[in-house]
Amino acid sequence: MLPWAIHMDQKWNGGTNNGISRLASCANTYATQNFQPVWYQGPPITNGLEATNLAMDQFTQLIRDNGFRLASPAKIDYQIPSPVTSSTIRGETSFSQTRVPLSFVINPTQLDRIDISPITLSGSMFHAWLHRSGFQDPKTTSYFISEAPMCVMRGYQAKVSAASDASFYQFFD
């Protein structure tokens, strides 16, 4: 998960741990809704910066629990959605903070398409991981679960009118 690693390094900021990653900065610009995972009970999360930091810490939790086999084994299933959609990778929203298996359902039809770039698939995987982290859809403009992955898909650049949000989030599930 390269975006996770880059975020952690930029936030660590040489040891101060107060840096703002490019991912967090981008998500803070565009995300305005659904900042909190469903299991979250702390102080209200009110912006994309806080949400990104929380999500990346939760990724750390997921990686740790799966790496140390504290979660039940992750399953990667392959299934064509019925009815057919442009979804690439689906992750169910987790209602638990710990011991969450990193399970996914991959749409083999979409994976076979050579016109879907690796960065697009990275964003889709990011969206699926956010579900496993407890974040919820809708997968549309302004929602954290869409805006943060779209930041990755744009290389953390600002939005341009030529590329619609829908052209990115059509691949989410």
What are the backbone dihedrals phi and psi of residue 34, each rounded to the nearest 5 degrees, phi first?
Answer: 55, 60
The residue ranges of DSSP E strands in 7-58, in sequence order, are none
Count CB-CB contacts under 10 A for residue 133. 25
Q: How far is the CB of 48 from Zn ion (least distance, A)?
A: 17
Residue position matching structure tokens 């610009």: 29
Build a one-symbol-per-residue string for 12-51: x at contacts with Zn ion by CB under 5 A, - elsewhere.
Answer: ----------------------------------------
Q: How far is the CB of 66 from Zn ion (least distance, A)?
A: 20
132 touches Zn ion by CB under 5 A: no
139 touches Zn ion by CB under 5 A: yes
Nearer to Zn ion, 8 or 106 (CB): 106
CA distance 73 to 31: 32
Build a one-symbol-per-residue string for 91-130: x at contacts with Zn ion by CB under 5 A, - elsewhere.
Answer: ----------------------------------------
Buried-state track 89-108, b at ≥16 Cβ within 10 A, e below 16: bbbebbeebeebbbbbbbbe
- 148 token code pair: 């943060």
In angstroms, how far is the first alpha carbon of the chain from the final one?
A: 19
Nearer to Zn ion, 4 or 144 (CB): 144
Q: Which of 29, 116, 137, 156 binds Zn ion (CB under 5 A)?
A: 137
Instruction: Give contact residues for Zn ion (rule: CB under 5 A).
Output: 137, 139
